[in-house]
């Protein structure tokens, strides 16, 4: 039996079939069982605060006050965001001694104002700098399908919190796939909005050019409900009519070196969509093959991460995950000219994408080229870095293009990327909703 959606739970609350306190107690009990079993999804659980918020939500509902569809529902928060009264560690030991936050991050404040119950802070790749979700300090979350396989990062704990019904939805971030990768690996729907639609004030940055914040949840409608609160924008996200949609597919770069199961699931999905009346439109985008060369020096992420981390690395560098520190320090080697050329290359790629995709309703690709890797296959640095690069490859294309994308589950641990360019968030959610309905 599938877990209930935001809409279903909101309806149950409205009908009096359950209460926010009951939902929160159930979530807390699941978290306790998860932690007792050695699970690593949460960094911190605010049981007393969550129950107080749940009681307040029930009282408000009894008085006829329902702030949003999220009112009274447990939501988890990635450890990257400030929550007033709590220490923001960003999955690191280097921030252990920092003072508790004096105020909520803007995205957290919007969830709180919407009546969501903030159930706890979720684990993550240290400083969000990995697509695999490994954390040597606080443990590595695993997929719900196989405890030997990583949940994906960097929003690893957030994905597990939703997959294991410890939260109805999770607030995550996505710099190169950090919402969509764990969504794919954990059988969820994730949505990376156009950067800057959701404010990142009060969140530890990774790359100011590429960072975006968004939801991991159970359905496209759940992601749309979260996005409306987080962005403050009410988009028309009603599912489109699948028949006649122009769904673009390129076989270069994003389809290179796919795992056999990923390739099979992707082709089977395209065949089903075609049979339902969608138009699968092949196109070429060979310039994408230049991305590894463009980003060979660490890209925008290393340059911008170094700017934020350089003082902390000087003071606390020995407390970092050294795989993360190594990647951040690549930014120290970049010159101003390197950075300017990166920005120019990004603008050029964006122009090419806009030209090739001007008639597309969406661009489809496998969310991730491979299945979730086994943790024991990532022990050697060379294996970790090679796998991390492959896992990030497809979703990071969309961040580089400053686009938006959803990931839909199409097979166990395999996601379909439904992608658009700058500002096409509503259309991506409409098309994703149509595909979700067609495949159900």
The verdict on whether 78 is a catalytic residue reads yes
pLDDT in the model for residue 426: 98
Q: How many Cβ atoms sit within 10 Å of the Cβ of residue 437? A: 13
Give yes or no: 154 in active site.
yes
Most distant CA atoms of the chain, gap in Å: 62
**CA-wise closest residue to 184 among 426, 393, 33, 401:** 393
Catalytic residue chosen out of the listed positions 20, 68, 76, 78: 78
Residue 220: name the closest of 188, 246, 248 by CA: 188
pLDDT at 241: 98
Question: What pLDDT was estimated at residue 97?
Answer: 86
Q: Which top CATH class is 6-231?
A: alpha beta
Q: 3-state class of 9 per DSSP?
A: helix
Identify the active-site residue in 92, 130, 154, 183. Answer: 154
Q: What is the pLDDT of residues 334-375, one digit of tens each?
A: 999 999 999 999 999 999 999 999 999 999 999 999 999 999
Q: What pLDDT score was predicted for residue 434?
A: 98
Q: What is the dihedral of CA 421, 124, 319, 338, to 10 degrees?
A: -10
178 classed as catalytic: yes
The pLDDT of residue 2: 81
- Would you state the pLDDT for residue 1? 59
What is the DSSP secondary structure assignment for residue 4, as one 8-state letter? P
Phi-psi domain of 334 (left: phi exceeds 0; alpha: psi -120 through 50; beta: other): beta
What pLDDT, in 10s, does the model give residues 204-254?
Answer: 999 999 999 999 999 999 999 999 999 999 999 999 999 999 999 999 999
93 to each of 87, 111, 244, 396, how far by Cα in Å?
11, 27, 52, 27
Q: Domain residue spans in the chain?
A: 6-231, 246-293+345-439, 295-330
Flag residues of the chain having pLDDT under 70.
1
- Active-site option among 20, 178, 207, 407: 178
């Amino acid at each position: 039996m599938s877990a209930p959606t935001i809409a279903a739970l909101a309806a149950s609350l409205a009908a009096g079939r359950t209460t926010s306190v009951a939902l929160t107690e159930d979530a807390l009990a699941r978290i306790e069982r998860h932690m007792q079993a050695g699970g690593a999804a949460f960094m911190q659980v605010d049981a007393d605060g969550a129950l107080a918020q749940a009681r307040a939500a029930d009282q408000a509902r009894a008085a006829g006050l329902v702030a949003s569809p999220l009112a009274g529902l447990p939501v988890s928060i990635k450890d990257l965001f400030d929550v007033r009264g709590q220490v923001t560690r960003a999955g690191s030991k280097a921030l252990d001694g920092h003072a508790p936050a004096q105020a909520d991050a803007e995205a957290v404040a919007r969830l709180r104002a919407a009546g969501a119950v903030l159930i706890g802070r979720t684990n993550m790749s240290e400083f969000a700098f990995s697509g695999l979700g490994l954390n040597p300090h606080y443990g590595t979350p695993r997929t719900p399908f196989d405890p030997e396989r990583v949940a994906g990062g960097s929003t690893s704990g957030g994905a597990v919190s939703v997959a294991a019904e410890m939260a109805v939805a999770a607030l995550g971030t996505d710099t190169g796939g950090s919402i969509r990768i764990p969504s794919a690996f954990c059988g969820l729907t994730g949505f990376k909005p156009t950067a800057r639609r959701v404010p990142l004030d009060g969140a530890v940055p990774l790359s100011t050019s590429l960072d975006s914040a968004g939801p991991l949840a159970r359905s496209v409608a759940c992601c749309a409900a979260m996005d409306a609160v987080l962005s403050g924008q009410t988009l028309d996200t009603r599912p489109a009519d699948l028949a006649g949609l122009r769904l673009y597919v390129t076989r270069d770069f994003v389809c290179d070196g796919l795992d056999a199961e990923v390739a099979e699931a992707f082709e089977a999905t395209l065949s089903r969509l075609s049979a339902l009346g969608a138009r699968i439109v092949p196109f070429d985008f060979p310039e994408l093959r230049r991305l590894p060369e463009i980003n060979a020096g660490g890209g925008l992420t290393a340059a911008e991460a170094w700017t934020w981390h350089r003082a902390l690395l000087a003071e606390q560098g020995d407390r970092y995950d050294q795989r993360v520190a190594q990647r951040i320090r690549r930014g120290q080697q970049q010159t101003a000219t390197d950075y300017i050329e990166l920005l120019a290359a990004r603008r050029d790629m964006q122009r090419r994408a806009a030209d090739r995709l001007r008639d597309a309703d969406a661009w489809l690709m496998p969310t991730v080229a491979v299945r979730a890797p086994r943790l024991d296959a990532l022990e050697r640095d060379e294996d970790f870095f090679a796998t991390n690069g492959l896992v990030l490859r497809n979703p990071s294309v969309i961040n580089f293009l400053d686009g938006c994308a959803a990931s839909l589950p199409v097979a166990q641990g395999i996601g379909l990327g439904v992608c658009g360019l700058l500002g096409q968030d509503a259309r991506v959610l409409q098309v994703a909703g149509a595909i979700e309905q067609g495949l159900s």
